[in-house]
Structures are given as C-alpha cells and as structure tokens.
Chains A and B, each alone.
Chain A
Amino acid sequence: MRIANLLKIAYRSLAKNKLRVLLTMLGIIIGVASVIAMLAIGEGSKENIQASMAGLGTNSVMIYPGSVNQGGVRMGAGSYSTLTVADVEAIMSKCEFTTDVSPVVSKSSQVIAGNQNWHTMTVGAWGNYFSIRALNIAKGNFFSQTDERTAAKVCVIGQTVSTNLFGENTNPVGMYIRINSIPFRIIGLLEVKGQNTFGQDQDDIIIAPFSTVMKRMLSTLYLNSILASATGPDDMDKAKESITAIMRMQHKLTPVDQDDFTVRSQADIANIFGSISKVLSILLASIAGISLLVGGIGIMNIMLVSVTERTREIGIRMAVGANGTDVLLQFMIESVFISFIGGTIGIVLGIGASEAVALLGGWPVVITIQSIVISFLFSTAIGVFFGWYPAHKAANLNPIDALRYE
C-alpha cells in the first residue's frame, strides 16, 4: 500500500518533468544501447572468424618450410626450400592422425582467355586438396587421378577468375585459358566462398593438378607447403606432434638441430584471431561502460538539482506526514525508474542498432542474453547507486528548514 502510494507519487512528479526525465534517460539509453551493440558486434566478429575458419577446414594442418642454418647463417622462415613430395608420402604412410595429405605449389601469373586477361594465383595440388580445404564444385568436376598421373592441362577456377575472364553468369566449364602461355581446359567452377577472415578473396584462384603445375609451369622439386587434414578436431595436437616427429626423421635432423619447417593448424590461427576479437570486445564494452557511467552521473546531477529545486515540496510533504524514508524512497524510485526505463529503451535501441549494422554493413552481429541482462542490471544498479546520495540528502532535510527554503 505504502509502496504503491510512493510509486504513484514518484510517477506524478516524473510526469511533471517529462523533457528533463527524457534528457536524463538519454545518457542511460545511449550507454545501454552502445553496450549491447558493441557486445553484439564483438560477438558477431568472433563467430564470423570461427565460421570462416571452419570454412577453411578446421581440421587442416599446414606444414611450411622453415628457416635453415647454413654454416651459422640463419635464414628467415620460408627462406629455403625443404619440403618435398617424399615428405608428403612419409606423412601419408606414417602418420596415424591424418586422413588426407596433399603437396601444395603455387605460382602467380597472368592468365589469358580470348581478349581478356587477369593476374591470379595458380595452385597445384592433388585431388584431395579440395576436401581438405572444404572446397565444393559448383559446375563441372574436380580433376581425376588420371589427370594427375598424366599431368593433364586441366584446371578448376574460382568465381572471381571466371567473372574477370568470361564476364558475369557465364559457364566457363569447357572453355580454354592460357596460363604462362600454356593452354588449360577448364573442367570445374568452384562454389563462391567470399572473403576469408583476413580479407583475401578466396574465389580468386585457379587449381590445377600438382604434376601439371610442377612439371609444366615450375620445373622445381620443392613444395610451397603441405596441407593435411587431421582425423578430428581433438586430434590436432597429436597430428602436429606426429607430423613434426616424422618430418624431423625425414629431414635427418639431430636432436640439437632446429626444425627446418613449421607446422601450424587452422585452430592456432583461429585462436589468435579469437583472442584479438576478445580484446576488441572488452575494449568496446569498456568504452560503452564508461558512457553508462557518465549517464549515471547525469542521473545524479539531475536528481541533485531536483532535490534543491524541490526543497519546498519536500518540506510540504514532510509537514503533511512524510517521513525520511518516504522521501528517500520517492527519490530512489524516481532515479531507478529513469535508469530502468532508460535501460529498457536502450536495450531495444541497442538491438535495433545491431540489426542495422548487420543489415547495412553486412557484418554479422550476435545479441546474447547475457549482454542484455548485464547491461540491464548495470543500468538499474546505476540508478540505485547514483540516486541514493541525492535521495539521502532530501530525506535528511529538516522539515522546517525545507519549508522555509526559498
């Protein structure tokens, strides 16, 4: 009953100052909305990274040539060609934690089709490269074992290459292109993958049989990298260890020698980017949190002004029977109400802003229940915290002093 009356009193006095209440709320609204939007964007980018990592094949393990020590002179990573097809075969036969292994060589070159040309990367790999990298074919076929064995001049191209050479909505399968003046027949078009996490266009690629690229384009014995897929996401570390051991044996390294190769899993990269996006989320949330705090100080400011301005009113209320607690609660209810309603509007606005970012920016956003609950509780706590001092000040006024206040 008494609380109901106090709610009524607080409501009436808030209703008399709509504009001021709204302006005070604005601080909280912006604070809560930005906390929600920032967390949603942060969470979205985290999931985006995870999704694109999964698209690359989460189980994949990459082996790069490492630095070598030549008579005391250490060369940088990848400075020396140490990987060979023999390494690939060794991993295939000895490692029990990998399913597919493929050598990878690449060469970037000018590609010509009719009167169009385009500069792109040609990757030479075995047929299992597609499954390791989780690439799907949109039109045509992957190349076969026979193509590999005969070093057939066939290739599978990405959508970007197709568009640049043949224009939009053209089926390139069956057409010919010239890479390094060598004519290749296009036998397949890859499904569109879009950009990866690092902004690289994953569709700007030509994939040809390993033997073809090796013999006809590069004439080298060394590989750019080896790509393997682990038996499962949990076996990544075991696969890495096993590959390292096999590779050391293969390269006849003594225990004192450093690895002349680097083994990296997709998960390692994902973790790095995951932690970057986590730091980013914390940063964004703390900026948003500061704006919430500023909003809270705004509430305190207005409530203090309001206590001073309404000193006489407080005196009148006390004269007709309000006690200190009544006055305290009235002001507390007012400030909590401002932050509560402000918080609610902020949540709605924050969700709206996140959706707008998702829609206009094409950026994935994920609104979590936690972020809503946290920002809501936080804003209400701000109302209590910053409302208490002015309310306490009002409640401790002496009725006669309050009444005489001019």
Chain B
Amino acid sequence: MEKGQPLIAVKNLTKTYQMGDMVVHALRETTVEIASGDFVAIMGPSGSGKSTFMNILGCLDYPTSGDYFLDGVDVFKLNKDELAVLRNRKIGFIFQSFNILARTSAIENVELPMLYNSAVSATDSRARALAALTSVGLGERADHMPNQLSGGQQQRVAIARSLVNNPVVIMADEPTGNLDTRSSYEIMEIFQGLNDKGITIVMVTHEPDIAMFATKNILFRDGHIQSCKDVVDRKFAVDELPKLPAQNPDDILT
C-alpha cells in the first residue's frame, strides 16, 4: 500500500453502554481516516471515548453501529475467529500496563503472536522473536523474566511482540503512561524509527509532550472528534534524549 492512502477508514462509529438505567454514549458518530504511514496521537480527557475508539480500531470490541475498513477489509463483517486472525496478522498491540505474561521469558512473550500464526515454523519463530528483541535493544535480555526487567524494558518487550508478525498498524494505548520521561522518550525513539520504516502507528496518550512526537493529533471530547490536525514543530526523540538530565545514581537519592 502506498504511503498516503487511507489505511483506516471509520464512518459514523457509535458505541453506547447500558449502565443500569443510564445510557452512556462512549462514541457518537465518529468519522475519521488514517493514512498508511501516519503516526497519529489520540488525545482527550478521561471518558472522552478515546480508549473505546482505540479498542474498536484494534478489533477487540464491536461498536453499536458504524463502519470500519482496515487495509480494505470490512472489519464488522468478520466473525470472532476472523477478527482473531486480523488481530494476529495486521495489528500490533501495546498497552499502558505492558500486558506481557508474567513468569514467561522475554523471548517467549515475543513469540506469543507467532504461536497463533500457523504460517510461522518453530525455528523461524525463535529467530524472528530474537530479531525483534534486538531491534528494541533487548537482544541480550531475551531470557530474562518480566520481573527482572524495568518498566521501559517491559514495554520494549511488548513493542517487540507487536512487531513480530509484521503488522500494518501498531495500536498503542497510553504506552508511556506508566513510564518516566527518559523511558517514554526511548519508546518514542523506537516508534519514530518504526514510523520512518513505513509502519502506521495509532497511539492514545494524555501527555501533550508525547503527542508532539506524532505526525497528527486527534482530540476527542465527549465521544466525538473535536479536532484533527497535523503536528507543527514535531519533536524528534533523537534530538530530545540528549537534552534530558544525565542519569546520575546520586540524583535518585537526593
């Protein structure tokens, strides 16, 4: 797919929840297009519908009504099993709470999506998982358990996991929400690198400075899109990381 063509096309997406007597409108008639190669940051206050929107884009949840085309596929015409295949082959997920399996080594976590992909052989899967881990700078720590890794490293394992099946889009739900600034910027560095290679990234965040690393910002309010604009004065992690105060062990104590 050429860069610039709509990869994600959402029309009149509506999601309502029934909470007792109240009907909660999480999404109201949302329409948006995301082009292949975009790096979109979705912003908005809590309860604005951005996470619901993200879950529907990630094929984890069905909307109440509306249409969704991902890479030319009419997503809501698929059954649960077909959605699982779609998630496996076309989407890479990254979550705020990392969501990597506990007591499972980094490499086994990264192998996980390939275990559900019958096109990948066992030896291939090992090699690809190691390559993905190396690409996020964790090649040395392939056999470490999650509790032996820092938050930033765990999130990088999650990124490696999202990459192994060569997805067309990466969906990141507040990927830096649980991380310090340096780790956050390191994640952004990886994201920008991936984006440069042509991978589309959709990221939910509520940190404005993190949103500045994207190419486009979408602002949600009360279940619909308030604004969608290109980022002016985009930040680049390669430039920003050296500006951070140097990590000095003494600083942590003071």
Chain A positions within 8 Å of B, measured between CB atoms, are 1-2, 4-6, 8-9, 12, 16, 312-313, 315-326, 398-400, 403
Contacts and interface: CB of A to CB of B under 8 A. Distances in A.
A326 B60 contact: no
A321 B103 CA distance: 21
Contacts of B115: 5-6, 8-9
A398 B89 CA distance: 19
A316 B116 contact: no
Majority DSSP secondary structure for residues of A touching B: helix
Interface in B82-125: 84-85, 87-89, 93, 95, 99-101, 103-104, 108, 112-113, 115-118, 121-122
Given A6-B115, A323-B85, A400-B60, 18 more contacts: A5-B118, A8-B122, A12-B104, A316-B100, A317-B112, A317-B116, A318-B84, A319-B99, A320-B88, A320-B93, A321-B88, A321-B113, A322-B88, A322-B116, A323-B116, A398-B61, A399-B61, A403-B95
A318 B115 CA distance: 12
Given A321-B88, A321-B117, A325-B81, A4 B99 contact: no
A265 B112 CA distance: 73
A324 B82 CA distance: 11
B11 interface: no
8 contacts: A5-B122, A6-B115, A12-B108, A318-B60, A320-B88, A398-B61, A399-B60, A399-B61
A321 B117 CA distance: 8
A322 B87 CA distance: 9
B145 to A, nearest CB: 10
B101 A320 contact: no
Interface string B62-83: 0000000000000000001100
Contacts, number: 72
B80 A1 contact: no
B99 A2 contact: no
A9 B117 CA distance: 13
Contact of A319 (B58, B81, B117, B118): B58
B128 interface: no
Contacts of B89: 321
B216 interface: no
Contact of A324 (B80, B85, B112): B80
A312 B100 CA distance: 10
A1 B125 CA distance: 12
B165 interface: yes
Contact of A323 (B61, B80, B101, B112): B80
B50 interface: no
A403 B61 CA distance: 11
A312 B99 contact: yes
B224 interface: no
A16 B81 contact: no
B55 interface: yes
Given A399-B60, A403-B60, A320 B113 contact: yes
B161 interface: yes
B28 to A, nearest CB: 19
A20 to B, nearest CB: 13
Contact of B81 (A316, A324, A399): A324
Closest 7 CB pairs of A and B: A321-B88, A323-B84, A320-B113, A321-B116, A5-B115, A323-B81, A400-B60
A381 B253 CA distance: 60
Given A321-B87, A324-B81, A5 B116 contact: yes
Contact of A400 (B55, B85, B113): B55
A16 B145 CA distance: 12
A349 to B, nearest CB: 30
A313 B60 CA distance: 15
Given A2-B118, A5-B116, A321-B116, A316 B101 contact: yes
A322 B84 contact: yes
A403 B99 contact: yes
Contacts of A9: 115
B116 A326 contact: yes
Given A320-B112, A323-B84, A400 B61 contact: yes
A16 B103 contact: yes
Given A321-B88, A323-B80, A16 B116 contact: no
A223 B104 CA distance: 86
B62 to A, nearest CB: 9
Nearest to A322: B116
Contacts of B80: 323-324
Contact of B165 (A1, A16, A321, A398): A321
Contacts of A1: 118, 121
